Structure 1
Amino acid sequence: MKKLKTIILMIFFTTISFGQSSMNTEKSQIKDLIIKSFDEIWSELNSKNIEKYYTKDFLLLENGEVWNNDSISNYLDNAVLKKPIPTRVNSFEFIEVKVLNGMAWVAYKNEAIFTVENKIIRKAHWIESATAILTENGWKLEMLHSTRAKNE
């Protein structure tokens, strides 16, 4: 009987440990999703990466404006035409990430530093939240809400 209890306890704790490890992996995937989407869409000004990171019905709510994939694509395609194109470097401070049943939400602080010829031309700070869903192609963002914060 003691052996049976020991085996049951070992299975129980292994299952709990695996569940926590899986949750941490998913949280890391959500953080990576945020970082890579900003780097590969907004820093590279690359509208072709929208479908890689955003769902087809993605919405960006930014300071009272509602953007979708088409409006984001138009913005990026026009931004590439303006010269010189600034270099954008993003940094993130994650506040909270929650994942449950193929859905996630994340809250974070976002800072971007824009430079031209190694000279800072602008710093921007936002506090943002996003939702993501697990698709057959991995995690994708379905909504992002962005509010400008004062420069620190």
Structure 2
Amino acid sequence: MNKFYSTILLLFITNIAFSQVSNNTHKMEITNLVQESFDELWAKFNAEKIEQFYTKDFLLLENGEIWNNDSIVNYIEKAKLKTPKPNRINKIEVIDIKIKDKTAWIAYQNYATISVDNKIIRKAHWLESATAILTENGWKLDMLHSTRVKNE
């Protein structure tokens, strides 16, 4: 009988340990998804990668405006025409991530430093939250809510 309880206990502990590793892996994937989406789409103006990061019905809610993938692509295409091209460095500081089944949300601080010819022309800070879903191709953002934080 002790062998039976020992086996059950071992299976229970293994399951808990696996769940924590899996949850931590998902949290890292979601953090990377947010960071890489800003780096590729908003810093490199790489509109071709939008489907890598966002679902087809993605919404961005920013300071009272509603954007979708089409409006984001239009913004990126116009931004690519500007000269000189600005350099944008993004930094994400995660506040919290919650995961339940195949859905997740993340809250984070988003900082951007924008420079031209190695001179900083603007620093920006947003408080943001995003939701993501687990697809057959990995995590994708389906909504992002952004509030500008006033510079001190």
What TM-score does the superposition give when structure 2 sets the normalisation length?
Answer: 0.97
- Give the residue type in structure 2 aligned to 1:14: T
Q: For 1:136 and 1:20, locate their aligned partners in 2 and report how far apart those are by CA, in whole Å.
A: 21
Q: Tell me, in whole angstroms, the C-alpha distance in 1 between the residues paired with 2:67 and 2:97.
A: 23
Report the equivalent of 2:82.
Answer: 82
Q: CA deviation at 1:151?
A: 2.2
Question: Mapping of 1:108-127 within 5 angstroms?
Answer: 108-127=108-127
Q: Structure 1 counterpart of 2:64, which letter? A: G
Alignment-mate amino acid for residue 104 of structure 1? A
Q: 2: CA distance between counterparts of 1:122 and 1:148? A: 14
Residue matched to 2:7: 7
Q: How far apart in 2 are the matches of 1:69 and 1:147?
A: 19
SS at match of 1:151: coil
Unaligned runs of 5+ in 1: none
3-state SS of 1:50 partner: helix
- Deviating above 6 A after TM superposition, structure 1's stretches of 4 or more consecutive aligned residues are none
Amino acid at match of 2:122: R
- Please give the residue correspondences for 1:41-120 in structure 2 after superposition, counting only pairs within 5 Å: 41-120=41-120
The alignment yields a C-alpha RMSD, in angstroms, of 0.8
Q: Deviations over 1:67-119 (max 9, x none)?
A: 01011000000001010111000001100101111101000000000011111
TM score, norm. by length of structure 1: 0.97
Partner of 1:39: 39
Question: Which deviates further from its counterpart, 51-60 or 4-13?
Answer: 4-13
Across the two proteins, how many residue pairs are aligned to each other? 152
